[in-house]
């Protein structure tokens, strides 16, 4: 099957780090992505990781990939109120442009 799961909610204080987790089932996925969706808006690509990588860092964002456990995480350092949004992980299976999205994690940043 192709199920991508995330925890539904996460609440952190401003300045703390946020860690959003994702588990997926399709081991053939070539790329894994993190998208941000603000209320009423479309999707904004935050970062992605190729399946042969373990970690990728991009400014405040760190992506960790554990292929053995099919676990992906997104760490946001120094979380700000503007980071409040829904975060979706997504996988793209090899040989296709189809995306399978996770259930989404609603991040709330408390001032």
Partner 1 sequence: GAVVSQHPSRVICKSGTSVKIECRSLDFQATTMFWYRQFPKKSLMLMATSNEGSKATYEQGVEKDKFLINHASLTLSTLTVTSAHPEDSSFYICSAHTSGGESTEAFFGQGTRLTVV
Residue numbers at the binding site for partner 1 (CB under 8 A):
30-31, 33, 35, 40-43, 45, 48, 50, 88, 92, 97-104
Q: Select 42 or 82, whichever has its Cβ closest to partner 1.
A: 42
Q: Select 14 or 51, whichever has its Cβ closest to partner 1.
A: 51
Q: Select 43 or 64, whichever has its Cβ closest to partner 1.
A: 43
CB of 51 to partner 1, least distance (A): 11
Query: What Cα–Cα distance (Å) separates residue 67 from each residue in 1, 8, 49, 57, 111?
Result: 17, 22, 12, 17, 35
User: What is residue 78's DSSP assignment?
Assistant: S
Query: What Cα–Cα distance (Å) separates residue 65 from each residue in 11, 34, 36, 72?
Result: 23, 12, 18, 5
CB of 78 to partner 1, least distance (A): 25
């Amino acid at each position: 099957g192709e199920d991508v799961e995330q925890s539904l909610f996460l609440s952190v204080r401003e300045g703390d780090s946020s860690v959003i987790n994702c588990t997926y089932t399709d081991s053939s996925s070539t790329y894994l992505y993190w998208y941000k969706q603000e209320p009423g808006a479309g999707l904004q690509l935050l970062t992605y990781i190729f399946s042969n990588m373990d970690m990728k860092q991009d400014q405040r964002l760190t992506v960790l990939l554990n292929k053995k456990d099919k676990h992906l995480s997104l760490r946001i350092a120094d979380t700000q109120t503007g980071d409040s949004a829904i975060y979706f992980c997504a996988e793209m299976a090899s040989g296709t442009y189809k995306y399978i999205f996770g259930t989404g994690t609603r991040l709330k940043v408390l001032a």
